A = this chain, B = another copy of it.
Amino acid sequence: MTAKALHMSTLFLRTLREDPADADVDSARLLQRAGYIRKTAPGIFTWLPLGLRVLNKVEAIVREEINSFGAQEVHFPALLPKDPYERTHRWEEYGDNIFRLKDRHGADYLLAPTHEEMFTLLVKDMYSSYKDLPLTLYQIQTKYRDEFRPRAGLVRGRGFVMKDAYSFTVDADGLKAAYQDERDAYERIFKRLGVQYVIVHAVSGPMGGSESEEFLAPLAIGEDTFALAPSGKAWNVEALTTPEVPDEDFSDVPDMTQLHTPDSTTIDSLVDQANALHPKADGSAWTAADTLKNLIVTVKHPADADHDELWRELVAIALPGDRQVDMKRIEAQFAPAEVEEASPEDLASHPELVKGYIGPKVLGPQAEAAGIKHPIRYFVDAHVARGSAWVTGADTEGEHLFNAVYGRDFDSSARIEAVEVRHGDISPDGSGPLSFERGVEIGQVFQLGLKYSNALDLKVLDQNGKTVPVWMGSYGIGVSRVLACIAEYHHDERGLAWPLSVAPAQVHVMATGKDPKAFEAAERLVSELEERNVEVIYDDRLKVSPGVKFKDAELIGVPLIAVAGRDTINNGTIEIRRRDGSASQAVPIAEASSVVLEHLAALSE
């Protein structure tokens, strides 16, 4: 087998000296300048010959690793009927984020952003016994999402290549094993592709389900923030949990008192009032950190066994006054319910709530003890220690409680994660303070559990002849997005610098100047490399200056560059150097191909 070199004189390529106007990140800028991709519409790109070669190599590595544990490839259409997506409610949930269309007969279709429904129905259609499981299916496919604001080139486009896999197992243990297979493969894939990654604990997004981790490439251009512990473990913000805080000793805390604090409906005004009217015993000033604010939110639960339709519940959430509330984290804990600030109408249905002075006395266990009808559940943020003392609302206009001790003077219905996490918060694993970084999501592994099996009635007979729902997982890699991340990691001011595993060619050979001997030497090297099945780009252009050829080679970013020009040919040598600048040498023409092979062997280690 021989590999045919790409000749620059005929290659469909035009490198650009200028950055495209709207390229907002390095990968988009360089991939377009070097002729890998071309923008076709907002967030929609065309793959040019060099880009398609890199994409094919990335796909091949993904395929090889996913095949290695027995996953089987299939291919669904991107255009799909509405019905399955309606049955799982995703037709509505996706809102404007998917492309929808009607066929000529008026039937609804979508361009599928992910295929959980279709894989579930396919397996249901074909399999019926535990003996057919475990099974993992996958596809590699161009998908579409109607992003409101596409950005960062291939990082967040409206069309993108995705590998999506789905596992089917008869029980939760099987799911865990399938999940682990996929997770291990992802680690191998990203290592081979030369992208950095952090595995981040994630909670369920719009997929619904139970356990999930994201693979984030740490990059400042990323839209995802993740929290990193000194242990190296990472979490996405919605998944962060606060370690149990130790109980505080409240033996010295005086009895709770209810004091007058007029015009103190905000934390700032409360602190000012407290300092003015009720100075602290130890002489220090009250701060926001001494106050406990009680937030009322409305939880919109989906219909369930007891409710025919969506139903609204008011809940109260207590959090330290010096912390910001994080509604997304709160919502994650009530999923699949949605959470919003309580409206004036919602609040009016609970006359015990005194606006600006809401406190524990009318909430949760206290409300129940007081015989209040439909008591409001009372959640206390995880940063609030049992035994800690607080200034908080007294449920009376213009009055607050002082020295209200959690666990002595009031109790809660449950613990909750309610505050915005911040630099220095203790990590979930207790290894130390958290720091926050930005990353690009390049993969996600997800234990879906029974969500789709139940919604679409995917059941099999188990070993006892009993019908049981199938446990599912879903696993995605953003193939074109990973390609962009490789470019983010592997470039310099002069252009791309691909890792060998995905480079469009292995060697970029050029002949410079006008001396036919340079071209002869270059061609000899090219043909020797072709015979050894090395992929070569050969810059054979006649009327192009050495400067342009060098610039193009560095922009295109093949890992090895071989130059036959005036300087070298007079010595009977060819210059061989690495694109990353780590090596450069002049070698006799007759040895050039062997030296190239040595470099390639070293680079592929």
Contact = CB atoms under 8 A, between A and B. Distances in A.
Contacts of A76: 40, 46-47
Given A12-B135, A101-B99, A159 B79 contact: yes
A74 B101 contact: no
For A49, A78, A104, A146, the residue with the greatest tally of chain B CB atoms inside 10 Å of its CB is A104
A46 B104 contact: no
A75 interface: yes
A135 B40 CA distance: 20
Contact of A75 (B52, B77, B148): B52
A370 interface: no
B14 A104 contact: no
Interface string A62-85: 000000001011111111110000
B12 A46 contact: no
A118 B12 contact: no
A300 interface: no
A101 B108 CA distance: 11
Interface string A48-59: 110010010000
Interface stretch (A122-130, A325-333, A577-585): A122-130
Nearest to A47: B75
Contact of A78 (B104, B135, B142): B142
A242 to B, nearest CB: 38
A265 B100 CA distance: 55
A164 to B, nearest CB: 13
Interface in A306-337: none
A55 B104 CA distance: 28
A81 B158 CA distance: 12
A250 interface: no
A104 B148 contact: yes
A126 B38 CA distance: 10
A14 to B, nearest CB: 4
Contact of A100 (B40, B49, B79, B101): B101
Nearest to A161: B75
A10 interface: yes
Contacts of A74: 12, 46-49, 52
A10 B96 CA distance: 40
Interface string A107-143: 0010100000010001001110000000101000010
Given A44-B80, A79-B158, 13 more contacts: A10-B70, A11-B72, A12-B72, A12-B74, A38-B126, A40-B76, A41-B79, A41-B109, A49-B73, A79-B111, A100-B101, A101-B101, A101-B111
Given A11-B72, A52-B74, A80 B41 contact: yes
Given A47-B74, A74-B12, A101-B101, A80 B122 contact: no
Given A52-B75, A72-B49, A74-B47, A80 B12 contact: no
A225 to B, nearest CB: 25
A40 B118 contact: yes
Given A12-B135, A72-B11, A79-B159, A146 B104 contact: yes
Contacts of A159: 77, 79
Contacts of A80: 40-41, 44
Copies of this chain present in the complex amount to 2
A605 interface: no
Interface in A21-56: 38, 40-41, 44-49, 52, 55
A97 B12 CA distance: 32
Interface string A155-185: 0001100000000000000000000000000
Interface in A431-450: none
How many chain A residues sit at the interface, stated as a range, is: 35 or more
A252 interface: no
A538 interface: no
A79 B99 contact: yes
17 contacts: A14-B126, A14-B127, A41-B81, A44-B79, A46-B75, A46-B77, A46-B122, A49-B73, A79-B144, A79-B158, A96-B104, A99-B103, A100-B101, A101-B111, A103-B158, A104-B146, A104-B148
A70 B46 CA distance: 20
Contacts of A49: 72-74
A571 B142 CA distance: 53
A341 to B, nearest CB: 26
A79 B78 CA distance: 11
A10 B71 CA distance: 10
B77 A40 contact: yes
Given A38-B125, A100-B101, A126-B14, A142 B52 contact: no
A576 to B, nearest CB: 27
Nearest to A6: B72
A144 B77 CA distance: 10
Interface in A334-356: none
Contacts of A104: 96-97, 146, 148
A96 B107 CA distance: 13
A-B pairs, 6 with minimum CB distance: A101-B101, A47-B75, A96-B104, A14-B126, A41-B81, A77-B159
A38 B96 CA distance: 30
Contact of A38 (B14, B41, B122, B144): B122
A128 to B, nearest CB: 9
For A12, A111, A126, the residue with the greatest tally of chain B CB atoms inside 10 Å of its CB is A12
A142 B79 CA distance: 10
A113 to B, nearest CB: 13
Interface string A368-394: 000000000000000000000000000
